[in-house]
Structure 1
């Protein structure tokens, strides 16, 4: 399972004018209709199985859509001109920025879902459960649905029946953020990053407000809910999930899932999967000690950020040895199939940026690990396969090595790679070909899709600084995979221990080995006393297959 993350606002933007802090009329904006069948097939051809459309639900923006009956948001509580995709203003609506015809935006999204299914990919969309925009107001909700906060008693800091938390009659104070405040909110609602006072700072999620799932945070973190006392927010959020599931969505990527009590997820996911058994839930959970609790509550997959991502980033940049990778997979060995590997996403810095590796090719060994180490899924971020640097200073985002989620912007690598606005640079085309080759191995090789895994590092200590080696096996297909994180070529000798022969049921002998990356054929003597000599290119690897 390979997920490809796209931000439609950026992905399909053909505009080549990139004004810092520019408006939508100045800098343009990608549309859902840019995901035509040809483009979707190009993504599918990478080896992608699931397409995550980021920022589809209507969120706060400074762009005026009042002519279409959409309320405007105050600029003081919107980050950037375009606004954060995670400051939702209407859970039941589609972002008008993404529509060719704003009045038909929901239909355009439904057609995009259908086209994506048509080319053989499944659709994932965001579910943002922890917080909403400060001026949340649904105009698209079903007539029988009560809006969030509509029935709240704002005189109470906390109530099981309130959707928000309130700051006891204090007005919202934005003096740390703006010089002269004009936006008014009284009483102030608690801020989305669990800030329960009325004066958030610039580093807070000040454009959002925290949703109340029945935990009294200022009352000792008391859980006020029970099997017989279901918070009003639980019911409203379940309705939202069901609304989108009925549109044909195949899965939800759940933003900051660990900031919402696991009991809610058990409540909601159980009900969703009763009606839609194949729907998947991906949770953004960063605390490793919480992983198993959230998996038990129904999540299919969780971000492996603090473990594998942080480790691979350290190995790529030379601050950690490759032997640390063993400790990372061992830490989640009992839940490996639930861990989502990735090297980039909208929150993290681009590999090719000056803040990370400075060279996209240095990530190839890590890409091989993410795709071929185990049977769990992998996520690729649009532009990663072309070596997108993320070094633009787009506006609110600034130059931080990330691709902005707050600004109207266009991405040259994606314009060349998918929109046919100029030919991809030779370096971009070669990098994409390498990414694609590795992902096709992941998609097509039985030993990867369902095979067993054996870590070879404990008998090959000389590899422990720059190289990593492992075996995969399914039936009679065997893969020996060795990667080299060094900028220098390496000549290594790899031992396969007796224990591997027992665990994987390997048969000693001499075989024709086929390196699936270089297409080289070699003679392999496989025995517990033999060393396998291998030449490794810089920042590359070998995937040697034999059939016993």
Structure 2
């Protein structure tokens, strides 16, 4: 029985103890976390927190304005931020020199981090960015015999399956920042798929799109026979990193790469690395099943569960929407990765979202326990990290920057000079972290959550069937196995305490092999701050109450 709990961290920020925080500051001014900083103390804290996997975000070398010996800076006209976007990869075969203590030993320092993580019985996930690369992409450390991307391309044609890029013949690239030293003539198609030589400032202008055999100039018609050149080159990259001992790939914007490639590539990776985990960033729900069929273990559940839980956390929306999500994912719910924060989403505590970290409590319980699929926590979420200051490129947008060098002051209290402990946290932060940690360990110790069946209880409690039950703000469900029966109830309301009757219905009791005529004992097992016990007939209903933004899990017997 597996239940993956993925802990996402950005090394640049995770261990940075520099407090200067100059707007758009350099590495020398604002500092940067290192692979070596994620030491045994740090990893023990993550393991003790309950994580099973660590996603090291932004490991690959990206376009940057920072200069290193032998590694020149990129043209600022095609770099977002000073540090640069982790998703504008400059060399698929290299790691970010920012993260190395000894830049010449940067690959070994990452390999050591992989080994340290494994020693703490956690698995390693890294980004694979298949759709686009930095405009200045050039691999200078690729293995002998490996041909670089774009090498051998016929730049006189817009599209060819022998080319790795798409071209706009006769037109040089002109970026939104004006003049550039980048000699890109003809211009390449931008990472978003924009077929103009002059992409907009709001476009992915710093990247170029890779060609997987879809003709973007003619309705993305498919040309997969013979196998396009890019397929083989990207497979080489996947196998290169697989041999380093990583355990999984988080595949950036996987939906922009055809499922035919993924099926072909994933099969070949798993021939050599059978347990390799593939996670797809995907937002188009009508494509979900195609990408699962292609071999992905997990897909982002952003447009479904995240979006609807966010509405509830903001004080609108309805708990009915949660039911609609799982109904729409019938048969693939266990393939969905759920989360409330990632590097792309706004921090829960930001002024653009919920403002109060404890608003997440009911939504986080649902995120973690509604199915046996994985869930993700973004570093700092567990102490309510805020995103209130404009750090650089992205400004004050409610997100923690991925483009700039920065130190997260509230997170640095947890770093505590490398102790990774709670001594300097406020009581409120300690309480929040305790909730998250307790939830992780409750999930890992629960057979019903990890592999049990799911049963929605809204239908037997809404529409006035249960006195006092507000089905727009309360949500209830069962998770059960042969050895464990659990009843979950959450209150999404920020203001209302509900005193209500709760029912499971006769069918649910029979599914759990209970006598529908008998009384059932309910013993609270989460949160453990209370040991509430109830007793009664769940067909007729049992009266209980829930305070605002609170949750309860009962074990039934």
TM-score scaled to structure 2, two decimals?
Answer: 0.95
**Alignment partners' CA distance in 2, 1:248 and 1:182:** 38
What is residue 404 of structure 1 aligned with on the other side? 401
- Give the conservation status (yes or no) of the 8 Å contact 2:413–2:424: yes
- Give the conservation status (yes or no) of the 8 Å contact 1:40–1:116: yes
Alpha-carbon shift at residue 242 of structure 1 (Å): 0.2
Match 1:524 to one of 519, 526, 534? 534
1:143-222 paired onto structure 2 within 5 Å: 143-174=144-175, 177-222=176-221
Q: Are 2:504 and 1:496 aligned?
A: yes
Question: Relative to 1, partners in 2 of residues 1:419 and 1:130: Cα closer, same or farther, differing over 3 Å?
Answer: farther
- Give the conservation status (yes or no) of the 8 Å contact 1:322–1:465: yes
- Give the conservation status (yes or no) of the 8 Å contact 2:158–2:168: yes
**Alignment partners' CA distance in 1, 2:159 and 2:11:** 37
Alpha-carbon shift at residue 35 of structure 1 (Å): 0.8
SS in 1 for 2:358: helix
What is residue 486 of structure 1 aligned with on the other side? 493
What is residue 254 of structure 1 aligned with on the other side? 251
**Alignment partners' CA distance in 1, 2:533 and 2:527:** 16
Q: Are 2:369 and 1:359 aligned?
A: no
1:34-49 paired onto structure 2 within 5 Å: 34-49=37-52
- Give the conservation status (yes or no) of the 8 Å contact 2:315–2:494: no
Alpha-carbon shift at residue 505 of structure 1 (Å): 2.1
Match 1:4 to one of 3, 7, 20? 7
Q: Are 2:482 and 1:475 aligned?
A: yes
Indicate the larger mover: 97-106 or 474-483.
474-483
Alpha-carbon shift at residue 222 of structure 1 (Å): 1.6
Q: Are 2:292 and 1:295 aligned?
A: yes
C-alpha distance after superposition, 1:138-177 (max 9, x if no partner)? 0110010010001101111011110000111201112xx2
Alpha-carbon shift at residue 219 of structure 1 (Å): 2.3
C-alpha distance after superposition, 1:191-226 (max 9, x if no partner)? 000011101001100000000001111023221112
SS in 2 for 1:318: coil
Q: Tell me, which stretches of 5 or more residues in structure 2 are unaligned?
A: 463-468
What is residue 25 of structure 2 aligned with on the other side? 22
What is residue 332 of structure 2 aligned with on the other side? 335
1:363-374 paired onto structure 2 within 5 Å: 363-374=360-371
Alpha-carbon shift at residue 486 of structure 1 (Å): 1.1
Indicate the larger mover: 485-494 or 339-348.
485-494
SS in 1 for 2:291: helix
Q: Are 2:390 and 1:393 aligned?
A: yes
Q: Are 2:519 and 1:509 aligned?
A: yes
CA RMSD, Structure 1 to Structure 2 (Å): 1.3
**Alignment partners' CA distance in 1, 2:500 and 2:118:** 45
SS in 2 for 1:463: coil
Alpha-carbon shift at residue 416 of structure 1 (Å): 1.5
Alpha-carbon shift at residue 513 of structure 1 (Å): 1.2
What is residue 542 of structure 1 aligned with on the other side? 552
TM-score scaled to structure 1, two decimals?
Answer: 0.96
What is residue 465 of structure 1 aligned with on the other side? 472
The number of residue pairs the alignment matches comes to 541
Alpha-carbon shift at residue 464 of structure 1 (Å): 1.3
1:131-150 paired onto structure 2 within 5 Å: 131-150=132-151
- Give the conservation status (yes or no) of the 8 Å contact 1:132–1:208: yes
Alpha-carbon shift at residue 519 of structure 1 (Å): 4.3
